Structure 1
Amino acid sequence: MYRVKNIRLLAAIISIGFLSFLGIVVETALNIAFPQLTEIFVIPISQVQWLTTGYMLVSTSLIPFGSFFLKRFRVITLFRVSCLSFLAGTLIAGYANSFQLVLLGRLCQGIADGIALPLMFATILNQVAQKKVGTFMGIGSLVIAFAPAVGPIYGGIIQDTLNWHFLFIILVPFIIAAWVVGELSIKQVTPVRHVAFDARGGFFLAIFLTTALMFVVNLTANSSSIQLNLSLLGVACLSGMIFLHSEKNKSNQLLALSLFKNKQFVRLLSAFFLLQFSSLSMSYLIPNVLQILFHQSPSLAGILVAPAAVINALLSVAAGMIYDKTTPRLPIISGCAVIGLTFLYAVLITPDISRLIVIYMFFMVGLSLSYSNIMTFSLSQLPVNLINDGNAIYMTAQSYSAAVGIAISSSIISLMQAQRGNLLLGTRQGLEINFLILFLVAIFTLLLCLVSLKIMHVHQIKKA
């Protein structure tokens, strides 16, 4: 009976997470098809990039509402909305004959991801026994982590053999299969209740999240004006302050802002943010440097980075098991230490193809050990009634750190290329600067984890 329950729960987790998996696959596959889409629709690359930017904006704006959704609606209802939105978006984009329709399809997929991503981790945190939560969090991370390995290869094959429409059309049976599995396996374990929606707070939170993310994304756009960026920054700051003031004394807060007074939570959230920042920086740097500096084709670059993504996916489960069977200190600290040593090596050596692949693989080893376990440990320290709020905050931080990582790494490469007036020399120096920044980030991340885990260890000794 217990085994059947675990299998059913595992099926529910995978069916929910599979929508986020497909979203990342499409995103990474589309990156390869961007040049083709610019020719088909006769538009600049900056406009095509809205297929990614729009997806991120919608998804990131919805994620913080995950805690409210879980209080107000049944899990299966949220899953159905997510599946329907993703299926509709996929069909719209798959049969589109204009860029506007493709963008509409991607926005619908973004809605699905904004609901499904926090829903998957909430299902794990609310339904898995404490002694197994690390393993199941690792499985949840595997579902998402495996997507970057599949996306570039999938996109390359479709581009070489079919047309871009099939990037979407082929996904339809997989979406339907996930929907069926979810219908058969998802169950409700916590009661839902009518919770009033804070419309004013929700409006200003959405404005803050959207403008802040657009500001970060625009840092990479050389054509973006200073006036636009300042306007976005101003609106983000103003809406953020209004949201904080609006939520200050409310009983039905959209997010438990009191969590930000918890120093332990903030330290671990910061470490999580910096690890995701490093991960997305690397996911941008390695394939692009392989293409620009070492003249590899997009499909070959995708194949070269695939082993690192596979390592990340598979080790995520092993890291969760280590977390469950030993102590959080072991996987988290060892993972951060591996990342620090990896970037130290990256700073000291002269890069070539094989060294870049090795650096990326070792980085993924460290990331697998530490990343999801930091979130698991942090949320395990919260009161039960705040776990869903903490989960929503972590998922929001994940989205923003991804945008910041790509923005900063790509801006440094672009800046050095422009300053040197030489594509190859600028790319090489940009890579060196990025590696130095990532090394400093890794050291700070390790310190945050050491302090947090040491304090928790001391508290546990005192209690004993």
Structure 2
Amino acid sequence: MNPAGAESTASNLDLSGIKRGPIVAALVIGAFVAILNETLLNIAFPDLMIEFAVSPATIQWLSTAYMLVIGILVPVTALLQLWFTTRQMFLSAMILFLVGTVICGIAPSFEMLLIGRIIQALGTGLMLPVMMNTILAIYPPEQRGGAMGMIGLVIMFGPAIGPTLAGLLIEQLDWRWLFYSVIPLAAFSIIFAFAYLKNVSELTRPKVDILSILLSTIGFGGLVYSFSKSGEVGWHEQEVYLALIAGIIGLLLFVWRQLVVKEPILDLRAFKFPMFSLVTILMLVMMMTLFSTMIIMPLYLQNVLLMSAFAAGLTMMPGGIVNGIMAPVSGKLFDKFGPRVLVIPGLILIVLSVWLFTGITSEWSRGHVIAVNIIMMVGISLVMMPAQTTALNQLPRSLYPHGTAIMNTLQQVAGAIGTALFISVMTSGTKEYLGGVDNPAAPTPQDIVQATVAGMDDAFTLAFIISIAALVIGFFIKPTKAPEEQAKQAA
């Protein structure tokens, strides 16, 4: 791709008179629907195993396939956004998501449910990069913090209410209502976007490099699949390490291809901008730390404190709500004060909360869990969107689609790695503890509970070390300006 040419083309797009409010509203509604649905289903796995008479290994494909499709699709969205308009991309994404949701709701078999889930993932994978790229296109750098904060509110509010809502629906109705309840919201999002969403990007229609798409699919797909599957079956399985090897080789060849081809589908020159590279590393570390809580805490609440799924969801909800409320606040503060006054205190709060989690016992009260979780969620709200906005602000306009695709892709990979890493550490710690009890062959229920807590403590200890690394990285973050802004100031 020719960045200079793309830059010139993009500069001819006059967005000065565009109404931003309806555009952001359309994006927010669509994002909320997709992210809410992503967090609804896991709590229904026990019911689905009974309904379709499948094993835990089989039912996990509803989650693994979802992550796999998004991990494969997101890198290609940088190319798609240069071929199709904002309206075409977003409406296609939401229509795919709606079709997938309907299929899931009426699925007569597990295979049909899985197909519906894959179609949903296609919609979600298309939508998330489009949403971030649109915000970058319609807001000047000095106002992006507040806009990204609104997106952050939606991204965190969905997971906050998802498990609680899912628990309520399953207790009162059945699992199909997890999809039925989303259908009206998805339909409304399509109608609203059709009426109000405008095109905000220029189309350059670069040459499509099929080999790059194939290598991207093998590389990112292999990595996401291997780490996702390893958390379920372990690294000793042949399919896991073969997928990892294929993923690494595919990714290396993909990177080489992007550096030598004239029109790359994912322009890796974004990494020439130091703050983008630094924040990308920070986001990888942050996502892994976040997953320590997202994965382990529900297991702790249900398996150690013996809460129902609904009660566990209620316990996790205050932290998510506080995070959602803080997201737009931190966005406004970012616009006013820049990233450092938010990111460093936020990382300190995250380190503190994970350190508190390392003292986890089977005697913790619900209030204790809520308090520590809120500290972590406040910290995350001060870091996530301000850091990402700082990184993307440094890129020239021609690299916006590539920057958002890179960041979203690597977060999916980090999510898969975090899941596998913390589950494996927790499992290993649990087994080690059980090996030292009085009767390892027949441990008592109390032994099992204490072993589970010991494994979780090991996982949180690792998360604490990772969070310290994030804090160190955070001290190097500073305000950024895009080349266009620097050129204006020089003139």
Per the normalisation by structure 2, the TM-score is 0.88
1:440 to 443, 465, 471: 465
1:402 aligns with 2:415: yes
For the residues of structure 2 that align with 1:92 and 1:85, how far apart are their CA atoms? 11
1:451 aligns with 2:476: yes
Letter paired with 2:324: A
Moved over 4 A (4+): 348-351
1:45 aligns with 2:56: yes
Cα 1:91/1:48, change in 2 over 3 Å: same
- SS in structure 2 of the partner of residue 260 of structure 1: helix
In the TM superposition, what is the alpha-carbon distance from 1:261 to its structure 2 partner? 4.2
2:40 to 10, 22, 29: 29
For the residues of structure 2 that align with 1:372 and 1:41, how far apart are their CA atoms? 40
For the residues of structure 2 that align with 1:24 and 1:188, how far apart are their CA atoms? 23
**Cα pair 1:336 1:445 within 8 Å, conserved:** yes
For the residues of structure 1 that align with 2:253 and 2:216, how far apart are their CA atoms? 9
- SS in structure 1 of the partner of residue 261 of structure 2: coil
**Cα pair 2:360 2:453 within 8 Å, conserved:** no
For the residues of structure 1 that align with 2:473 and 2:62, how far apart are their CA atoms? 35
For the residues of structure 2 that align with 1:39 and 1:455, how far apart are their CA atoms? 53
Q: Quote the residue 1:282 is aligned against.
A: 293
For the residues of structure 2 that align with 1:437 and 1:183, how far apart are their CA atoms? 46
Query: CA deviation digits over 1:273-323, x for unaligned, max 9?
Result: 111211122111111101111111111000010000001111000000000
Q: Quote the residue 2:451 is aligned against.
A: 426
1:356 to 365, 369, 372: 369
**Cα pair 1:339 1:366 within 8 Å, conserved:** yes
Identity %: 27
For the residues of structure 2 that align with 1:105 and 1:70, how far apart are their CA atoms? 24
Query: CA deviation digits over 1:44-89, x for unaligned, max 9?
Result: 0111111111111111211112221111110000112111101110
In the TM superposition, what is the alpha-carbon distance from 1:332 to its structure 2 partner? 1.0
**Cα pair 1:12 1:181 within 8 Å, conserved:** no
For the residues of structure 1 that align with 2:215 and 2:401, how far apart are their CA atoms? 21
Alignment of 1:93-242 (within 5 A): 93-222=104-233, 225-242=236-253
Letter paired with 1:285: I
In the TM superposition, what is the alpha-carbon distance from 1:130 to its structure 2 partner? 1.9
For the residues of structure 2 that align with 1:375 and 1:129, how far apart are their CA atoms? 15
- SS in structure 2 of the partner of residue 451 of structure 1: coil
For the residues of structure 1 that align with 2:17 and 2:479, how far apart are their CA atoms? 36
In the TM superposition, what is the alpha-carbon distance from 1:419 to its structure 2 partner? 2.7
Query: CA deviation digits over 1:224-246, x for unaligned, max 9?
Result: 64322221122112212222232
Letter paired with 1:103: L
- SS in structure 2 of the partner of residue 196 of structure 1: coil
Kindly report the root-mean-square deviation, in angstroms, between the aligned alpha carbons of the 2 structures: 2.1
Letter paired with 1:115: L
Letter paired with 2:292: S
**Cα pair 1:19 1:112 within 8 Å, conserved:** no
Alignment of 1:325-344 (within 5 A): 325-344=336-355
In the TM superposition, what is the alpha-carbon distance from 1:182 to its structure 2 partner? 0.9
